[in-house]
Amino acid sequence: MTDGLLYAAFYGFLLAFAIGPVFFTLIETSITKGFKAAVFFDLGALFSDVLFISIAFLVLIKF
């Protein structure tokens, strides 16, 4: 049982660092518009992730 849990934790941690379009947009924003704009962009991305995770969690609890 712990082997499966360690396997899942390892791959979950590895996939958390997946580079996607938000990462490249964040890099572009920080280069072109500066640090402050990049921080606000990152906070917006974080808020949207939290919102989607919360909605999924609430739907799973409902059913």
pLDDT in tens, 29-54: 999 999 999 999 999 999 998 999 89
Say what the pLDDT of residue 4 is: 81
Question: Which residue type, as a one-letter code, is found at position 21?
Answer: P
Contacts of 2 (CB under 8 A, 6+ apart): none
Please give the Cα distance from 33 to 8 (Å, whole number).
Answer: 38
pLDDT at 2 over 80: no
Structure token digits, residue 57? 């969690």
